[in-house]
Amino acid sequence: MKLCGLNIRQLAIDAAPRYGSEGLPPKRPATWHYPLVTLRTDEGIEGYTMGYGNQGDGRAIACLVRDVFWPKLRGENPLEIERLWLLLRRANRDLYALSDAMAGMMDVALWDILGKVRGAPIHELLGRARDAVPGYCTGWSFHPTPERAYEEAREMKARGFQGFKCHFWNDPARDIPCIRATREAVGPDYPLMQDLNALYDYNDALKVGRVLDELNFVWLEEPIPDRQTGLLRRLADELKTPILGGETVTLDELAEQIRVQAYDLARGDVYLKAGITGLMKAFRLAELHGMRLEVHTMATPLLDVANLHCNLAARNGGYAEVIHPIYRFGLKGRPLDIDEKGWLHPPKGSGLGVELDWDWIENHTVEQFEVN
């Protein structure tokens, strides 16, 4: 079997429903362009993947796939995933403007092909460790007040999610009242998390972390930039609330941070950690160091399906992150929705195991690249 063709569709998504009454944030694109990538084989089997496209970078990603990464895969046997993964990551050595995300995106399509050839879903090929994954909801509001935080937390708990993650990242004076309102809304034992997106400094993170300790939060995520390894270790030592880190570092950097115990919980996904192949290496490494790895959503449906497969195959996996429904486009059957008890279940088909909604895809395609 050989890879013989490439198709890339640019899917246009109206961003307005994501922001609701708060309106489009300044300098953010009003239309997102997500590249849907199809790898074709000479035996008629196709593998699908998708690039993250809500930052205005969708067309650039498509051009990189076509011009840089596809020539390295053309004519190769897609079943030799480890060899091709090393080939793609090695290419990144000299692509100084890029991260492992490009290799990760292509790796997902190779696993999709392998699953279809083997007639099995990816999580079974990886060795399934769990039958389902608990889902938590990440807050939707970009400009929360204590009142809005209270209502949103209550709503998401009522919808059946097994936890709720706050995005309060202004400053302690404004964020602490929102944190307290969230805990009041859901009671003392419901799982709550706080994600700062690296927008605090050490002192502010410590101040808010003390409040999270008091309110029994499950974790404090990315309180400061992920590469401030020494300060992350200090926070982890100072706070009772576990520190979750590593989302934005490379796979190699994650390995070193896990080794030095820079945080209590590791973070990863199939995009930034170099694909299914890379994320499973991260899971195994964390497991050997006695650490849980929490999977980060990629706000991209096919990548989040791949995330779910990895999570199902990891004994040291935790929750699945579920965000705004606008990011679950283009798939039939709603495979990224929780059930009535807050669980996500494995797709049943081969490979990624999901069915693309081609009518929806056709209606949202604004550009196509075809390479044979």
**Considering the entire predicted model, what is its pTM?**
0.96
Nearest to 35 by CA among 360, 369, 276: 369
| Residue 119, burial from CB neighbour count under 10 angstroms (0-12, 13-18, 19+) | exposed
Superfamily for the 3-119+355-371 domain: Enolase-like, N-terminal domain (3.30.390.10)
The answer to whether the 3-119+355-371 and 124-344 domains have the same CATH topology is no
Encoded tokens for 329: 């486009």
Nearest to 15 by CA among 53, 57, 50: 53
Residue 95 contacts residue 88 (beta carbons within 8 Å): no
Residue 89 contacts residue 274 (beta carbons within 8 Å): yes
Amino acid symbol at 285: L
Domain ranges of the chain: 3-119+355-371, 124-344
Encoded tokens for 359: 């009518």
CB neighbourhood size of 36 (10 A): 25
Please, what's the largest Cα pairwise distance for the chain? 61
pLDDT, position 96: 82
Residue 202 contacts residue 224 (beta carbons within 8 Å): yes
Determine how β-strand 133-138 pairs with β-strand 343-344: antiparallel
How far is 91 from 102, CA to CA, in rounded Å?
A: 10
Q: Per residue of the chain (372 residues), give pLDDT as tens.
A: 999 999 999 999 999 999 888 888 888 899 999 999 999 999 999 999 999 999 999 999 999 999 999 999 999 999 999 999 999 999 888 888 888 999 999 999 999 999 999 999 999 999 999 999 999 999 998 788 999 999 999 999 999 999 999 999 999 999 999 999 999 999 999 999 999 999 999 999 999 999 999 999 999 999 999 999 999 999 999 999 999 999 999 999 999 999 999 999 999 999 999 999 999 999 999 999 999 999 999 999 999 999 999 999 999 999 999 999 999 999 999 999 999 999 999 999 999 999 999 999 999 999 999 998
What 3-state class would DSSP assign to 7? Answer: strand
pLDDT, position 99: 87
Residue 336 contacts residue 308 (beta carbons within 8 Å): yes
Fold for the domain defined by 124-344: TIM Barrel (3.20.20)
pLDDT, position 263: 98
Residue 85 contacts residue 30 (beta carbons within 8 Å): no
